[in-house]
Structure formats: structure tokens, C-alpha cells
Amino acid sequence: MSKVLYLSGLAAAVLLAGCQAVNTTSGGAVGVERKQYMFSMLSADEVNQMYAQSYQQTLSEASSKGVLDKTSNNAKRLQAVADRLIPQAPRFRPDAANWQWEVNLIKSPELNANCGPGGKIIFYSGIIEQLKLTDDEIAAIMGHEMAHALREHSREAMSKAYGIQVAKQGASALLGLGESGMAMADTVVQYSLTLPNSRSNENEADLIGLELAARAGYNPNAAISLWQKMEAAGGGAPPEFMSTHPSSSSRIASLQAAIPKVMPLYEQAKAGR
């Protein structure tokens, strides 16, 4: 047990030594204030540029296959939602006003959507068509995904991966761990670093996404109906979206508790439209 505790402490120490504490966004009405630790040699601009290249490759492949949808009614709906949500992003971080935001729709039965670093949004038609999403529910998904980008959860995960890898290598050398010891190292660092932050990241994206949608004039209650639809769509195997965005009764309860905080923003936005 002492080796487990030592390794956990070593991983944390390496992570902290190579990283700087930041808060990527303001807290907003929903109060997201968690400090994040980012690897100091991996800048936000570098991550954004790397993802932009990957995003363009995805779009090029989709275009060559004839599945990049620029003209359908759903593509127009997505763009309309994005046009209302994106101007709200600088309320959480002013530099997001300078991001090269994009939204694209790919024809695919996948129930999936994401927003990568730097504001690169992709929706797959399956999630809109199979779940029969309203514009408010599309805004709930898009706001959630935009929040991941605003909070730089990808860079945060990369920073943790760096700390974990260095910690494992250092522990193996210092403690003389064999294969079983390295397996223990994997387990310790996963539970002590990765999983708790993954849960907190999802909660942050839920809350910030809820506020983004409300400020854009979309009904916050759509976040509840969205996750209810997502759970119902699971059947024998959960949708791909659920594999990285786990839904649960506790998640819905958290959203329900936050809705009163953003409802005045929604009413204000609605009155101004």
C-alpha cells in the first residue's frame, strides 16, 4: 500500500511541477471556478492549431465521400443555432471572440457531436434525425460541446497524460516495479488523476453549456429532455455520444438544480428577440 500511495503522490507531484494553475473561463452565473493544471510547454494556440488540421482532414474526407452536408434543412438549423451560441462564448473567455469557429454537419447514422479545441464543431445527422431534436435540444448539445472547448478540457487531459507517463516511468525506475507493478501504476494514476477530473469536466460542460444556451435564448429545460432522449436511445448498446458523455439520474438532477440560475438569462434573451 505504501508503494501505491507513493506512486499516486509522485504522479501528482510531476503533474504539478510541469504545469501551471489556470482558470480558463470566468465562472458565469453557474459558478464554474475549478482551477486547472496545464502543461506549461503546451500552449492553447498549439493545441488549437493541431486540432484545426485534424478537423480539416475530417471535413476533406467527408467531402470526398459526399457526406459533408452544407445545404440541408438540418445543416441550416445547425448554423442558425451556432450563430446565436457563438457570440455568447466571450462571456466566459474574451479571447474566444477571436477563435475561427466552424460548424459542419456530416451525414452519418452516428448519434454523436463534438466541439474540438478552438471552436471546431461537428454534428452527425443521426443524432438530429434519430432523436428528433428540437432547436433547443440542438443548442443544449452544442453548448455542452462548446463548453469543453472553452474550458480546454482536451489540453487539460493532454497535460495529465504527460504527468501520468512521466510518473509511471519515474516510479518504475525508483521502485523497481516489474510488469505487475506497472499495472498497479496504471490503476493508481487512472483513479487518482483521470477519472475524478473526467467527471468534473462533464459537470462543467453541462453547466456552462446550459448558460450558453440560455443566454442565446434557448430553453434551458431542453437539456433535461435531451438527456432523457439520449438514455432512451441506448437500448441494448448506448449511443457513441454516451460513451464519452455519460448520462445518469445524478446528471439530470444537477442540471435541474442549475436551471433556476440561468432561467432569468433565458427570459431576458427571449424578451429581447
Q: Which of 137, 145, 204, 211 is catalytic?
A: 145
What is the chain's Cα-based Rg?
Answer: 20
In this structure, is the dihedral angle defined by the CA atoms of residues 258, 261, 264 and 265, taken in order, positive or negative?
A: negative
User: H/E element holding 6?
Assistant: helix 2-17
- The answer to whether 78 and 103 are in contact (CB under 8 A) is yes
Task: Please answer whether residues 82 and 141 qualify as being in contact, where contact means their C-beta atoms are separated by less than 8 angstroms.
Answer: no
Beta carbons within 8 Å of 178's beta carbon, 6+ residues apart: none
Rounded Cα–Cα distance for residues 79 and 103 (Å): 7
Quick one: CA dihedral 203, 206, 208, 211, positive or negative?
negative
Q: Does 179 participate in catalysis according to the annotation?
A: no
User: Alpha carbon of 208 to those of 31, 63, 180, 225, 258: distances in Å?
Assistant: 9, 32, 41, 17, 10
Nearest to residue 213, comparing CAs of 122, 271, 119, 139?
Answer: 139
The closest of 58, 36, 38, 57 to 46, measured between CA atoms, is 38
Q: How far is CA 8 from CA 64, 136, 179, in A?
A: 47, 43, 17
Q: Tell me the CA distances in angstroms from 231 to 124, 170, 237, 238, 239, one per residue in order.
A: 18, 42, 10, 8, 9
Active site residues: 145
